[in-house]
Amino acid sequence: MNNHEIANIFDQMGELMTIRGDNFHRTLAYKRGAETIRDLGEQLSEMLAAGEDLTKLPGIGKTLAGKINELIETGGLRAFEKVKAEIPLSLLELTRVEGLGGKRVKLIYDKLGVTTLDELIEAAEDGRIAALPKMGEKSAEKIATNARALLEFGDDRIPIGDALPLAQQILAELKTLSGVERAEIGGSLRRMKETIGDVDILLGVKEGTYAAPIMQHFVDLPLVGTIEGQGNTKSSVILHTGMKVDLRVLPLRYWGTLLQYFSGSKEHNVRLRALATEQGLSLNEYGFSAEAKTPPEQRDTCATEAEVYNTLALPYIPPVLREGRGEIEAAQKGMLPEVVQIGDIRADLHMHTTYSDGKQSVLDMAIAAQSRGFEYIVITDHSQGLGIANGLSVERLEEQAREIERANAEMGDDFTILHGTEMEIKADATLDFPDDVLAELDFVIASLHVSLKQPREQIMERFMAAIDNRHVDMIAHPTGRLLGRREGADVDMSRLIMAASSSKTILEINANPARLDLNDVNAKYAAMMGVKIGINCDAHSADQFDLLPYGIAVAQRAWIKPEQVVNTWPLEKLLAYIK
């Protein structure tokens, strides 16, 4: 049983135990365990075979380690079968409905026997849910609306490249409204996760500002398809695209805790509240107090997020690190990483021109790169085997070399254009150009675009052929995935990373938000193993250099430092490394 399967079972265990009413800390342990397992760079089965102690992993105690061992040895878990016998697995579908936690799902199941979304909608519309304790008509209406939205749009998470532009558009509109002093995107989108469930927009307003006009303006936006709820401090809508957006408005004095609280993650915030409790304090979105039931107006407020962390004797922790992956412990020890920033990037090593499937010339791409502060670039058009992308033959590659030479002369001494290729690793594990051609190039990328559904062994045979070739400098977007559209190849990432580490082959974080490949988990493992990282836009036009922040965010979430990223280096250092 692999890590993915074990993590899914732990997630389901946590949800079913929540519905059953188990202790919060027990259910949270399974969910945190699932997160840890997904973050691993190697298979648990291999770790056990090597005699490693799983309890040294964050969030894995003796109980969960025993469960992992049972799953790997037997392929099943007695505790999971027991909880499934008590709580129907179909109830997990109901927990996907916004506003339905485990307790409410249990109530609806116990009292009404509801187990599916269709039954849930029917019970909400005929008054049965409204009649339940602590529910009422408003709650029933929300449940029906959210369940219908789930049926229509599904709950597939939205790629960040689709979500962020829409969220920024809404944010820009709301910033202009009277009384609004601060405005930010919150939630997983602020943490720059590669996919998001919904969007949180947070506004801090002047004291005495009447929120109703702000809320009305929000729900009247042309992007809005359905109004899910409208109140004085929170309104919720579903856009025509199916994306859910929540707006929260509070007086500016609460801004620090509001922003921190609604940025998450849940695991990070649970740990912060535990630290507050250790100091005899209660922490929520309104501020600190000595008593949990202290009303908002009597709490000690924080004007900034930094004040929230300082109150807990912590340095400021950037949102991209707030995932409950040891960042608080690192902060307590003064060991938070100084992660790579956009300003550290000197170059882009992966781009396409009109020679293959790009939109602009070599010179146009160079001028655009220089205008963004880059010092050098590598032109890496596709190789001949990728006919669908107008890949270059050897003759056209030689022709391009002459054009690059002319463009270099025009750019002058302050900027350098290197000649490279994005070479296809073919389905039979051969490379698209012979060694004598590769030897003439400044930089060689190898990647997979075809036959991505081959078995893992064949995929890895292809990668090993590339990594073993002394001319190959970097592997680009290793899985070949397209977020929300195409699953990637079945890559043994642990093996790939170890091979890259041994051969000094660079691995790419592809900044195109449709790819973001390596992901943050694999990028973190690669950097820990000493692999050098390239963060590249894979630009097919000059405007796609603007995608760089997405790739930077992946590297930041992976705790990667500037010196670990090859395109933060001066050109001379990069050339020496690949030589």
**CATH code at position 525:** 3.20.20.140
Residue 33 CB contacts under 8 Å (≥ 6 apart), including other chains: 7, 10, 59, 60, 64
- Rounded Cα distance between 293 and 229, Å, is 26
Neighbours of 503 (CB within 10 A): 16
| Inside any domain, residue 105 | yes
Buried b (16+ CB within 10 A) or exposed e, 531-540: bbbbbbbbbb
Q: Which two tokens stand for residue 238?
A: 């579903």
In sequence order, the β-bridge partners of residue 229 are 236
Check residue 226 and give its pLDDT. Answer: 87
Q: What is the pLDDT of residue 138?
A: 84
Pairing, β 443-447 against β 474-475: parallel
Q: What is the pTM of this model?
A: 0.78
Please count the other Cβ atoms lying within 10 Å of the Cβ belonging to residue 68: 25
User: Cβ distance 30 to 16 under 8 Å?
Assistant: no
Same domain, 213 and 200: yes
Q: Is 425 a member of any domain? A: yes
Per-residue pLDDT at 154: 61
Instruction: Identify which of 314, 97, 285 has the alpha carbon closest to the alpha carbon of residue 186.
Output: 285
Let me know if residue 337 belongs to a domain: no
Same domain? For 179 and 313 the reply is yes
* CA 356 to each of CA 352, 383, 536, 539, 578: distance values in angstroms, whole numbers, following the listed order: 7, 8, 18, 12, 25
Task: For residue 45, count CB atoms less than 10 angstroms from its CB and return exposed for 0-12, middle for 13-18, buried for 19 or more.
Answer: middle
Same domain, 184 and 292: yes
Taking the C-alpha atoms of residue 570 and residue 563, their distance in angstroms, rounded to an integer, is 11
C-alpha to C-alpha distance for 290 and 414, rounded to whole angstroms? 60
- Rounded to 5°, angle at Cα 383 from 497 and 407: 105
Neighbours of 250 (CB within 10 A): 23
Query: Which tokens in the block code for residue 325?
Result: 């992956």
CATH at 98: 1.10.150.110
Class of residue 70 by CB neighbours under 10 A (exposed 0-12, middle 13-18, buried 19+)? middle
pLDDT at residue 92, as a whole number: 86
In 3D space, the residue among 337, 308, 309, 306 whose CA is nearest the CA of residue 321 turns out to be 337
CB 559 within 8 A of CB 533: no
Residues belonging to the chain: 579
d(C-alpha 93, C-alpha 63), whole Å: 27
Q: What are phi and psi of 421, to 5 degrees?
A: -150, 150
Hey, what amino acid is at 241? T
Beta 158-159 vs 195-196: how paired, if at all? antiparallel
What was the pLDDT predicted at 393? 96
SS3 for 514? coil
Q: Does residue 311 form part of some domain? A: yes
Domain edge (last residue) among 270, 299, 332: 332
Whether residue 351 is found in the same domain as residue 434: yes
> Could you tell me if 420 and 442 are in contact, meaning their C-beta atoms sit under 8 angstroms apart?
yes
Residue 434 lies in a domain: yes
Burial group, residue 122, by CB count within 10 angstroms (0-12, 13-18, 19+)? middle
**Range(s) of the domain holding residue 185:** 158-332
- For residues 442 and 499, membership in a common domain is answered with yes
Per the structure, the count of domains in the chain is 3
Q: Do 43 and 126 share a structural domain?
A: yes
Tell me: do 425 and 504 sit in the same domain: yes
Question: Are residue 385 and residue 527 in the same domain, yes or no?
Answer: yes
Per-residue pLDDT at 46: 87
Are the beta carbons of 320 and 557 closer than 8 angstroms? yes
- Any idea what the CATH number is for the domain that residue 213 is in? 3.30.460.10
Under 8 Å between Cβ of 11 and 34 = yes
Domain end among 153, 171, 193: 153
**Domain for residue 52, yes or no?**
yes
Rounded distance between C-alpha atoms, residue 383 and residue 441, angstroms: 12
Kindly give the confidence (pLDDT) of every residue in the chain, 579 residues in length, as a single tens digit, with 9 standing for 90 and above.
Answer: 788 789 889 989 988 988 888 887 788 888 888 878 876 667 898 889 999 999 988 789 999 999 999 999 999 999 999 999 988 888 888 888 877 877 889 899 999 999 888 899 999 999 999 999 888 888 888 888 888 877 765 656 789 999 999 999 999 999 999 999 999 999 999 999 999 989 999 999 999 899 999 999 999 999 998 898 999 899 999 888 888 999 999 999 999 999 999 999 988 999 999 999 999 999 999 999 999 889 988 999 999 999 999 999 999 999 999 998 899 999 999 999 999 999 999 999 999 999 999 999 999 999 999 999 999 999 999 999 888 889 999 999 999 999 999 999 999 999 999 999 999 999 999 999 999 999 999 999 999 999 999 999 999 999 999 999 999 999 999 999 988 778 889 999 999 999 999 999 999 999 999 999 999 999 999 999 999 999 999 999 999 999 999 999 999 999 999 999 999 999 999 999 999
Query: In the prediction, which pLDDT does 567 show?
Result: 97
CA distance 285 to 260: 8
Q: What pLDDT score was predicted for residue 478?
A: 96
Residue 457: partners with Cβ closer than 8 Å, 6 or more residues away: none
Domain end marker among 309, 332, 355: 332
- 408, part of any domain: yes
- Is 57 inside any structural domain? yes
- Residue 237: exposure state from Cβ atoms within 10 A (0-12, 13-18, ≥19): buried
DSSP string of 526-551, one letter each residue: HHHTT--EEEE--BSSGGGGGGHHHH
